[in-house]
Chain A
């Protein structure tokens, strides 16, 4: 199966409404009895928010979608309904909140995006370990920073850490854009037209890099948490 077919997850082929048993035209709401519908197993966060599977998402649009769906599912609007509907509302609203939280943060979003594709593509699993070389690099960074702090140069250590983080995040964000471009280029082709070997390879490389960078960033953040003693928190906030 071509990788890019994954994102046309028309996940509601001929489902029935839990309430009136009518055929559902759309996934969230029954057109006949106007009852909200439980999310299907396979619906991922992009589907839930009604957004295309993209790494770059406009935060304004994301918020708008989130609010729109919240108005549909939030328990406040289903308080008077029967128990089943209240349960659906609670579960859907919870998942919706989770979806928004994940997609709002570009780094969480990227990790989530990759995790959706990791089956059949373990090289991009964001949970996989960093290479020994990366780990070594991080250890060195940590030691250097710690010795800066030990001689009272918190400010300097923090500035360096800031710079490292910003740098890495810039690279990640750029990479996310590039992957989107390649993917959307691929999507404009007809589904039965295979991607060129070259495009596929380049995509895969970028995703592997993305997955490594995301993991690397996590380490940097945890170093940052460790370095930031309560005293420095006060100074910098």
Chain B
């Protein structure tokens, strides 16, 4: 039997979990029927909250409410310095990483740790709904995420106790969801404008093979920026005496701007009212469109880049798939429609389609289906720093993954025992202008004359878009030691530390999972026993024995309603005890019955 692999869309603003169940897509809601989970974590003296309850505390001065943590994934403090003022929670620069102080527990949390809290919540959701433990998952990331950002997301999954089978690109996931079941062959464009990121991908679908031709994007462009564009205009007309640099004011404006923006997808004008700061105005769709137009135009730059990389003109595209909440903005739909002049597909809920696609890929990876295959690409060129600080490209962007490049290295000095390789990602000519991924050291090289060593290094980008480096000493045929020093994000050791730290959390999880498992088992056994009892006459089951069994069934059912996993297990074994004599008798009668040609309900007792 194949295990269920859950699909998770870990979004900047909202996340969700989906599965394929009996061949059908299903987004798993929480117990209150809500499909999305706000990607928000609240840290307060009373504990750590995730999702709706965390979001509800946004104005609580005693609580640190962490949102948009995805923007921090796999990035250094310097990377995000400019955005910090947009965030209403504090960030500390610790060893160059942006960490969130949790004063209540005397610790600092990294973006992957925040992500892990959200992922663990979604995992719990799935476990409750499925009545079984879940470990395997596919998690989506913006296609334009670099290696560090992908790795950070994978780390987050591992910290949440998930076995991350695949880091999947969001636009590709959306295409998978669209192609699932009904997919018409052709060349499609996916325009994905979320809360914090923009992705654009071109892909062809042909008989179940989804082949990405090119991808491009902007990891810092999304609906949030539209809100900021509106706020920027409002700041000009804010009543005197209101200090816009105060986090509370920022938060109020941010919420109101988003509200107005969303309202303008329906109406042509909306009123804006913030009595707390005495701010009152109206906003027309026309003015908003004007204010956000530069941002809309900015999305078209990656669109053109992807088209030209794939050697495709807009007219050759058969359809455009719109993904992400911000594509509900009418001006965005219009701009995309104008450029392609092609049918726009938006019938899948743009909020859900990415998570659904992750579930489809999960289904493929679970081994459940062989009719679909996804061939994705790496979004950024990978290279190494060579003499003079120039980047020499090894794997160009938009190369289909998995992919490998081999490069031969040698020593420059007599007796040199170590060679350093600086790996970069990006499109610029100079190494310093690109993103430094890591420095790899080839260690323990046997000392010999300069240039005599022959070390073949294989750079692999796997199907997750994540880099792996291996080295081989060509002279001996032995593998050569490689030590990795990641430039950004977190080292493997730190990740291990963090996994250990989250062990506490995992223990709690473990309890929940034990509970779920024991409930499932108990329910199966009670159902089977009750069914069997119905069919048995007093000849096989005397009334006093039936009474005992029934009593134990009731006891067990009561235990199942409680929270004590151990009690449920104990009562399950007790039931097993009291039904054993009956089971043995049934075994015998079934043999006799078989000899006498009588049909017997022996299979009913199997469970």
In the complex, number of A-B residue pairs with CB atoms less than 8 Å apart:
54
| B207 beta carbon closer than 8 Å to chain A | yes
Are A100 and B400 in touch, CB under 8 angstroms? Answer: yes
What is the CA–CA distance of A75 and B374 in the complex, to the nearest angstrom? 11
Give the contacting residue for A93; candidates B206, B207, B402; CB below 8 A. B402
| B404 beta carbon closer than 8 Å to chain A | yes
| A119 beta carbon closer than 8 Å to chain B | no
- For A89-103 the 0/1 string (1 means CB < 8 A from B) is 011011101101100
| A9 beta carbon closer than 8 Å to chain B | no
- For B201-235 the 0/1 string (1 means CB < 8 A from A) is 00000110101000000000000000000000000
**Which residues of B286-321 have CB atoms within 8 Å of chain A's CB atoms?**
304, 307-308
**Which residues of A195-237 have CB atoms within 8 Å of chain B's CB atoms?**
237
Known: A76-B373, A237-B304. A101 touches B364 (CB 8 A): no
Are B209 and A70 in touch, CB under 8 angstroms? Answer: yes
Known: A71-B373, A74-B373, A237-B308. A97 touches B402 (CB 8 A): yes
- For B161-173 the 0/1 string (1 means CB < 8 A from A) is 0000100000000
Are A90 and B460 in touch, CB under 8 angstroms? Answer: yes
Give the contacting residue for B403; candidates A63, A76, A80, A97; CB below 8 A. A97
| B107 beta carbon closer than 8 Å to chain A | no
What is the CA–CA distance of A237 and B364 in the complex, to the nearest angstrom? 38
What is the CA–CA distance of A176 and B364 in the complex, to the nearest angstrom? 41
- For B300-344 the 0/1 string (1 means CB < 8 A from A) is 000010011000000000000000000000000000000000000
Give the contacting residue for B404; candidates A71, A77, A80, A91; CB below 8 A. A91
| A67 beta carbon closer than 8 Å to chain B | yes
Q: Which residues of A contact B165 (CB under 8 A)?
A: 79
Determine the residue in chain A with the shortest Cβ distance to B374: A76
| B367 beta carbon closer than 8 Å to chain A | yes
Give the contacting residue for A97; candidates B209, B307, B399; CB below 8 A. B399
Are B462 and A75 in touch, CB under 8 angstroms? Answer: yes
Q: Which residues of B contact A91 (CB under 8 A)?
A: 404
Q: Which residues of B contact A79 (CB under 8 A)?
A: 165, 365, 367
What is the CA–CA distance of A63 and B207 in the complex, to the nearest angstrom? 11
Are B375 and A70 in touch, CB under 8 angstroms? Answer: yes
What is the CA–CA distance of A151 and B605 in the complex, to the nearest angstrom? 92
Main SS of the interface on chain A?
helix
| B401 beta carbon closer than 8 Å to chain A | yes
| B463 beta carbon closer than 8 Å to chain A | yes
Are A94 and B373 in touch, CB under 8 angstroms? Answer: no
Are B373 and A97 in touch, CB under 8 angstroms? Answer: no
B307 → A minimal CB distance (Å): 8
Give the contacting residue for A67; candidates B209, B399, B462; CB below 8 A. B209
Are B460 and A94 in touch, CB under 8 angstroms? Answer: yes
A218 → B minimal CB distance (Å): 15
**Which residues of B346-377 have CB atoms within 8 Å of chain A's CB atoms?**
364-365, 367, 370, 373-375
Determine the residue in chain A with the shortest Cβ distance to B207: A67
Q: Which residues of A contact B401 (CB under 8 A)?
A: 97
Are B367 and A80 in touch, CB under 8 angstroms? Answer: yes
A87 → B minimal CB distance (Å): 10
Q: Which residues of A contact B375 (CB under 8 A)?
A: 70, 74, 97
A18 → B minimal CB distance (Å): 18
Q: Which residues of B contact A76 (CB under 8 A)?
A: 364-365, 373-374, 463
Which 5 pairs between the two chains have the least Cβ-Cβ distance? A97-B400, A94-B404, A67-B209, A237-B304, A94-B402
* Residue contacts A-B, CB under 8 angstroms, 30 given: A67-B206, A67-B207, A67-B209, A67-B211, A70-B375, A71-B370, A74-B375, A74-B463, A75-B462, A76-B364, A76-B365, A76-B373, A77-B373, A90-B402, A90-B404, A90-B462, A91-B404, A94-B403, A94-B404, A94-B460, A97-B375, A97-B399, A97-B400, A97-B402, A97-B403, A100-B400, A101-B399, A101-B400, A237-B307, A237-B308
* Interface residues of A, Cβ cutoff 8 Å to B: 63, 67, 70-71, 74-77, 79-80, 90-91, 93-95, 97-98, 100-101, 237
Excluding A67-B207, A91-B404, 9 further A-B contacts by CB distance (< 8 Å) are A63-B206, A76-B374, A90-B404, A90-B460, A90-B462, A94-B402, A95-B404, A97-B402, A101-B400
